[in-house]
Structure formats: C-alpha cells, structure tokens
Amino acid sequence: MASLQSNERLPAAQLDILQEQLLRSTLESARRRIPAYRALRLPERNLRRHLQELPIISKNDLLTRRREFYPVPGLERAWSIKGMTSGTTGTPLKILRSLDSVIWENAFLQRHWAWSGYKPGMRRATLRGDAIAPVEQTSPPFWFFNRADNQLLLSSRHLRPPYIDQIISRIRAFRPHLLQAYPSTAFELASYVQRKGERLDIPFVYTGSEMLYPYQREVISSALNTRIMDFYGMAERVAFATECEYGRYHVNSEYSYVEIVDDTGQATRDEGYVVGTTFHNHTMPLVRYRLSDRSRWLDGACPCGRTYPLIEPVAGKFEDVVLGSAGHPISPSIVTFAFKGLQHIEKSQVAQVGDGVWEIRVVSGPGFTAEDRAALVNNIHAMVDPGLAVRIVERADIPRTASGKYRWVINEWKSNPYGEINR
C-alpha cells in the first residue's frame, strides 16, 4: 500500500520504467502458461512497442478459443480463484485469478479510498450486490456488520418501502466515512431521501462497476451531501481508472498497460475501445484484451498533482448504446437530459426494441399521470431525436441482473449492428 501511494507522483520517465518491468513479468508468465504465447519472443528493450505486434483479443476469443488463451492443463494452479464476469451482455465469462492478483486488487481499491482521507479501521458502508438478506425477508436486519473491517454491509435488494427507511436509519446511526455502492444503488438511496425532503450526510461515496450518469451524480451529490469518487474497473482486471478530488479519471499505470484503439485496432487520440494488458494476474495473463467500453485520452496535468495519464469517463459498453432513427449511436448521457425536471418517476430503463423504436420503462410514483408520460415523450423528441418511435411502459419494478447490477440503457434489438462489436 505504501509503495503504491509513493508511485502516484513519480515522474513520467520512472512510471515508464516501472511499466516495462511489470509488462515483462506478465509476458514471461503468458509465454509459460498460455498456449497462444508459447512462441513469444521478448526483446531486451522497448517492450511496449513490441506489444503492438501482438494480436488484440476479445471476450469472444476466450469463449471460442479456450485451449489457446486459458492456462495449459497442469499449469492451472489448484488454488486459483475463479472469477466470473457479471454477464450483463448475456454471456458470463470465467476468469482464473491468482491469490496475489486478489491482494493487489484490494490494495488498489484501498489506495483510492485513501484519496478521501480514509484509513484502515475507519467506518465504511457497502451497498452493492452482496447477498446480505434473502429477498423475501420482511424484518430487519437488512444488513451485516463486519467487525474486523468496521464495515456495514447493506442489502440493495431491500431498497424499497418500508425496508429502505430502516436501512437509512442504520446508515445514520453508523455514520460511515464512505459508502461503496453501484451508481444505481446509491441513486436509489439518494432519490428516496430526496423525495422525502430529507438529507443523509455521507462524506464520500465510491461508485463503480456500472456507468455513472450525470443525472445520478447530481442527485447523489445533493441528497447525500457527498463527494463522489468513481472508479472504472472490470472482472477481467485489465484496466483501472480512479476519480480524484478534482473529478479527473486517472489510469493507474502500475495496474495494467492500457491502450485506446480505433475500429481497426490502431492507437488513437480520439474516442476508441479500451484495450488492456494485466500486470498482476500471472495465473491467466490477458494480453491486449479489448473491452467493449470506449474512452479517449486527455492531455495536460491534473491539479491533484498525480502523474498518471488522464482519460475521459468511460462511455460504457458499446453493445448497449441505443441508436437514433437514422441508425446513429446516441450517448446515454444525452438521453439523461430528457428526464431532467420530470417528477413522479421512481425508476426507469431505456430500451431499444426495434429499428428507431424505443421503449421507456418506468416505475411510477404517486401522482404519475398521462401528462408526465406525454412530457417524457416530448422531451425525447425535443432533446434526443424527433424521429424516434417512443412508447412508455409502466412496470411494477425493473429487476437487476443476477449480480445485483442495474442496466439503465439496454439494446434489445436483435439486429443491433453494434452488438457484434465484442462477439
């Protein structure tokens, strides 16, 4: 942890040297353990340049060419930890992890917490996908106290009346320094507090594992009287970017080697796909693994003084980008403008169900009327795309995925051309 903190302000040249060392170790492990890299030759210098000669792989390669990209039989360690991607795009993926990589992951997370002044032993609450209490449970506790870490784990499956009031009371009594949450769970909590005309004081909220939309950030920051510190990561653990106190996202240089490439796989300074090479999982090294997430590099230095490269907030999984009436991708952040100022909507989901056809699913609150429905449709036509066919569908609830995540934008159109990107 101390060594990680000392890396934050290293000159760029020293970070380059550190990356070369970590990359060499990863590629040596890949050559020993992964059949696809058995013939890999490593030059004595300029490894990062040499890396560009290796093929970019994707989730589809791991699913369909398992014998090439998983450890050689006999080299899969008995104590390897099996991690699963959440499968939010329909196809879960098993990743083998070393114990060391799990320890490193926790160290990187704790360093990010330290950016808010957190120290081990301080009060921390967690509101993510953990199975804390059965869904059918109707009486408290809807939480569990981890005494060893001074951590209060809360059931996100009970963020609804009448249970949510008891969860809020427990958070108030606990007074955490920070709350770990999905953007969607923090937003549900904050929205409820806001609707009641109350405020819940939590100094810092750490969000991750989902897209954090501007409308969510606004409500969470206000209702919880908090500073949000978002992070970008994934189950494959090939990239990690953390938001600092100035709202900038820093790519953690000693976590992995990150590239941003265009549709042809060439490096770009424009928006492109995130490609990462892991540094710490020597059980199953992933080399030049392309994600379906998109971002771009930012120039300049951050006022926080940390010397890590800067990127734009990641734009989310591209296969879930909804398309306009002319077939063009529309950023979910643009869609959020159609919901601003609307009342009586407790939860929503934007789904593309056909060519130029959107279905807006809403869990309506008291007072939701035909005027609200019409206003939402009008807003989408005025602020997003006038040519869309939009229908509003009221739902009793919008379920989360099995891992407890919530997909606000989802493309269910079977002919979605962007759904082929990462297959």
The verdict on whether omega for the bond into residue 162 sits within 30 degrees of 0, i.e. cis, is yes
Degrees (nearest 5) of the Cα angle 412, 64, 85?
A: 55
Through-space distance between the first and last CA atoms of the chain, rounded to whole angstroms: 37
User: What pLDDT digit, counting tens, does each position of 287-310 carry?
Assistant: 999 998 999 999 999 999 999 999
pTM of the full predicted structure?
0.80
Helix (H) or strand (E) holding 60: helix 59-64
- Model pLDDT, residue 335: 80
Q: How many CB atoms lie within 10 A of CB 103?
A: 10
Reduce the secondary structure of 178-243 to three states and give it as a string: EEEECHHHHHHHHHHHHHCCCCCCCCEEEECCCCCCHHHHHHHHHHCCCEEEEEECCCCCCCCEEE
Q: Band of the pLDDT at 213, cuts 50, 70, 90?
A: confident
Give the residue among 248, 250, 258, 187 at the shortest CA–CA distance from 223: 187
Q: Band of the pLDDT at 90, cuts 50, 70, 90?
A: very low
φ, ψ for residue 187, nearest 5 deg: -65, -40
User: What pLDDT digit, counting tens, does each position of 328-340 carry?
Assistant: 777 676 687 788 7
pLDDT top residue among 153 and 412 = 153
Question: Which of the residue ranges 218-222, 322-326, 385-389 would you say has the lowest mean pLDDT?
Answer: 322-326
* Residue 31: C-alpha distances to residues 18, 21, 34, 35, 37 (Å): 20, 16, 6, 7, 5
* Residue 191: C-alpha distances to residues 197, 257, 391 (Å): 10, 38, 24
423 pLDDT exceeds 50?
Answer: no
- Model pLDDT, residue 403: 64
- Long-range pairs for 190-194: beta carbons < 8 A, 24 or more residues apart: 190/219, 190/220, 190/222, 190/223, 190/224, 191/219, 191/223, 191/346, 192/159, 192/164, 192/168, 193/168, 193/223, 193/224, 194/219, 194/222, 194/223
At 300 the three-state DSSP class reads coil
φ, ψ for residue 223, nearest 5 deg: -70, -30
Which value, in Å, is the radius of gyration of the alpha carbons in the chain? 22
The C-alpha atoms of residue 159 and residue 166 are separated, in whole angstroms, by 10
- Model pLDDT, residue 416: 64
- Model pLDDT, residue 88: 42
234 pLDDT exceeds 60?
Answer: yes
- Model pLDDT, residue 400: 74
- Model pLDDT, residue 316: 63
Q: Which domains does the chain have, with CATH numbers?
A: 2-107+233-316 (3.40.50.12780), 115-231 (3.40.50.980), 319-420 (3.30.300.30)
pLDDT top residue among 325 and 80 = 325
Give the residue among 166, 215, 222, 162 at the shortest CA–CA distance from 197: 222
Q: Are the C-beta atoms of residues 283 and 98 closer than 8 Å to each other? A: yes
Beta bridge partners of 97: 81
- Model pLDDT, residue 347: 85
Q: Band of the pLDDT at 94, cuts 50, 70, 90?
A: confident
User: What pLDDT digit, counting tens, does each position of 130-159 carry?
Assistant: 889 987 899 999 999 999 999 999 998 888
Give the residue among 300, 238, 254 at the shortest CA–CA distance from 95: 238
